Amino acid sequence: MSAPDIPHPERRILVGYASRGGATAEIAEWLAERLRHQPEPFEVSVAEVSDDLDPTGYDAVVVGSALYEGRWLRSASRFARRHRHDLADRPVWTFSSGPLDDSASTEEILITHSADRASRRLLARDHVTFGGRLAPDSRGWLAHAMVEGGHGGDFRDRARIDAYADQIAGELSMLPRRHPAA
């Protein structure tokens, strides 16, 4: 006897990220890890955004990018532009990773124009800027110069990242399922 065509039992969340040095990729992993330990048993996937990433099989999407010169990385901006219609009917949250000091944890960081545009395209419910990380062995002359200038370090605040995952989970749990069980 074939299995009845029932909706997927657990809501699926995609955490997509754009990262050059790995810091934002790790934030995405931390968000996912926290989202997997919520009262509602979400099924969470993490993936780098690219033209091949199809977000349509998910019930909710979280997408974030590292900031370089105030901008989201191109792949993340493209993802937002490309999928704005696909994602218009499901909840989206966005984040940025950037400031190389404690400012993201101690004050309200204004969203950059680029992150705001992407977030608006996706009708994001919220956006948060997390502190970033510049590793001593970062590639690129500018990154290297910044490290030499004393701007290196890890300013990612795990408690704020966990809190955002909790917020997302709480909001999502309040929303009706896309395909209610019959």
Ligand X SMILES: Cc1cc2nc3c(=O)[nH]c(=O)nc-3n(C[C@H](O)[C@H](O)[C@H](O)COP(=O)(O)O)c2cc1C
Q: Which is nearer to ligand X, 115 or 169 (CB)?
A: 115
Q: Which C-beta is closer to ligand X: that of 112 or that of 165?
A: 112
Q: Is 152 in the site for ligand X (CB under 6 A)?
A: no
For residues 164 and 77, give the distance between their C-alpha atoms in angstroms, rounded to a whole number. Answer: 21
Can residue 21 be called a binding residue for ligand X (CB under 6 A)?
yes
Helix (H, G, I), strand (E, B) or coil at 160: helix
- C-alpha span between 66 and 136 (Å, rounded): 17
Alpha helices in the chain (DSSP H): 23-35, 74-82, 103-106, 113-121, 141-148, 158-174
Binding marks (x or -) toward ligand X, 105..134, rule CB under 6 A? ---------------------------xxx
Q: Does residue 142 touch ligand X according to CB under 6 A?
A: yes
Q: Which residues bind ligand X (CB under 6 A)?
A: 19-25, 66-70, 97-100, 132-134, 138, 142-143, 146
